[in-house]
């Protein structure tokens, strides 16, 4: 990874290959990346980082593709990261995404990248964050991050995004409803996709009632709900408007600080674990906890304080 500045300059003009190599280094957690981080973050232009999440098959990739088209019409250069925490080995979903977004493959002002899971969840969130920083430094804005599935990692990645779009579909079974509740808490904008289905307006009304219910768990201002049909593009301009409108809210001092806190907390947890795991006494400590001679909290305290 010779010259980061030259690489970023080239990327600004639509030269995607060096940027693709940088993302490979980030994804594989190359030791070359760490020394670049200060320069990478300093080179950022302040791109809007948008998370797109929701139940499997709700149309996230189709919607991302439609959003790319909409933002391109608005003269923006668009970066896309498709993150798949659930399947480190099978790349089926990601291949599907590639095909779905293929219509933008020839556009030099669109950069798309699939990121597969490597290692633990927290690591994936951190890697995604650095990849987004690289796209920001390369002049893409907005950066759309699609996460597949519905679990802990989605919520974690959503917490790093400035604006989180949760994609729902009408006529969901109870099972999906349960997943939904957790995701709705992180929603800044809700897209009720598959708007061509008859249940869409009703689903939107139900969600609205649920989100604005007095004394409910959603104490904050309810997010806007937009009905979209990703396959035809209907409602996608409104969705892009809602995303753009949320940008300034996301950048209030309180929210910026909250995000900074999450990023630093994540990095700190990774660092503590990394240091402790390479310290002397790690194996002995694990053995002591396994044999119940030591409780895990005391063990962690001792490792953190370097006392093992």
Could you say which residues in the range 130-149 bind ligand GTP, by CB under 6 A? 148
**Shortest gap between Cβ of 48 and Mg ion (angstroms)?**
21
Calpha distance 161→140 (Å, rounded)? 15
193 near ligand GTP (CB under 6 A): yes
62 binds, among Mg ion, ligand GTP, none (CB under 5 to 8 A by kind): ligand GTP
26 sits in which H/E element: helix 17-27
Kindly give the pairing relationship between strand 49-53 and strand 143-147: parallel
103 Cβ contact list (under 8 Å, min separation 6): 65, 69
CA distances from 125 to 116, 118, 270 (A): 11, 10, 11
Classify 199 in phi/psi space as left (phi over 0), alpha (psi -120 to 50) or beta: alpha
**Shortest gap between Cβ of 69 and ligand GTP (angstroms)?**
14
Nearer to ligand GTP, 7 or 148 (CB): 148
Nearer to ligand GTP, 61 or 163 (CB): 61
**Shortest gap between Cβ of 283 and Mg ion (angstroms)?**
41
- Could you tell me how many residues of this chain bind ligand GTP (CB under 6 A)? 17
Nearer to ligand GTP, 56 or 213 (CB): 56
Nearer to Mg ion, 81 or 155 (CB): 81
Calpha distance 1→7 (Å, rounded)? 9
Calpha distance 145→157 (Å, rounded)? 9
213 near ligand GTP (CB under 6 A): no
- The 13-52 contact track toward ligand GTP, x by CB under 6 A, reads ----------------------------------------
Calpha distance 87→118 (Å, rounded)? 10
Q: By the 8 A CB rule, do 192 and 226 touch? A: yes
**Shortest gap between Cβ of 143 and Mg ion (angstroms)?**
16
296 binds, among Mg ion, ligand GTP, none (CB under 5 to 8 A by kind): none
201 near ligand GTP (CB under 6 A): no
- Choice from 23, 40, 68, 93 touching ligand GTP (CB under 6 A): 93
231 near ligand GTP (CB under 6 A): yes
The first and second tokens of residue 144, run together, are: 């759309």
Question: Concatenated DSSP letters for 88-120?
Answer: SS--HHHHHHHHHTGGGTT-TTEEEEEEE--SS
**Shortest gap between Cβ of 61 and ligand GTP (angstroms)?**
3
76 near ligand GTP (CB under 6 A): no
196 near ligand GTP (CB under 6 A): yes
Calpha distance 308→301 (Å, rounded)? 9
**Shortest gap between Cβ of 279 and ligand GTP (angstroms)?**
40
Least Cα distance to 115 among 72, 84, 86, 145 occurs for 84
Q: Would you tell me which residues interact with Mg ion (CB under 5 A)?
A: 60-61, 97
Nearer to ligand GTP, 114 or 285 (CB): 114
CA distances from 91 to 94, 110, 226 (A): 5, 22, 30
Residue numbers at the binding site for ligand GTP (CB under 6 A): 56-62, 93, 96, 100, 148, 193-194, 196, 229-231
């Amino acid at each position: 990874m010779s010259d980061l500045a030259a690489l970023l300059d080239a990327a600004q003009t639509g030269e995607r290959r060096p940027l693709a190599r940088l993302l490979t280094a980030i994804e594989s957690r190359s030791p070359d990346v760490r020394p670049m981080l200060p320069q990478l973050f300093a080179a950022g232009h302040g791109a809007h980082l948008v998370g797109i999440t929701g139940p499997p098959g709700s149309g996230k990739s189709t919607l991302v593709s439609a959003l790319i088209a909409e933002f391109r019409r608005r003269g923006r250069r668009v970066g896309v990261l498709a993150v798949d925490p659930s399947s480190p080995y099978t790349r089926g979903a990601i291949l599907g995404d590639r095909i779905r977004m293929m219509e933008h493959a020839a556009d030099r002002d669109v950069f798309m990248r699939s990121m597969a899971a490597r290692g633990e969840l927290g690591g994936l969130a951190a890697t995604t964050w650095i990849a987004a920083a690289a796209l920001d430094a390369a002049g893409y804005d907005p950066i759309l991050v699609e996460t597949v599935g519905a679990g802990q990692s989605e919520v974690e990645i959503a917490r790093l995004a400035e604006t989180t779009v949760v994609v729902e579909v009408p006529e969901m079974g109870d099972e999906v409803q349960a997943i939904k509740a957790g995701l709705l808490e992180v929603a800044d904008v809700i897209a009720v996709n598959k708007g061509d289905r008859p249940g869409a307006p009703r689903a939107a009304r139900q969600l609205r009632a649920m989100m604005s219910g007095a004394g409910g768990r959603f104490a904050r201002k309810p997010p806007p709900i937009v009905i979209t049909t990703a396959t035809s593009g209907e409602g996608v301009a409104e969705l892009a408007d809602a995303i753009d409108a949320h940008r300034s809210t996301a950048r209030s001092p309180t929210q910026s600080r909250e995000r900074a806190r999450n990023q630093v907390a994540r990095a700190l947890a990774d660092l503590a674990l990394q240091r402790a795991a390479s310290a002397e006494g790690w194996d002995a400590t694990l053995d002591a906890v396994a044999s119940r001679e030591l409780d895990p909290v005391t063990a962690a305290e001792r490792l953190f304080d370097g006392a093992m």
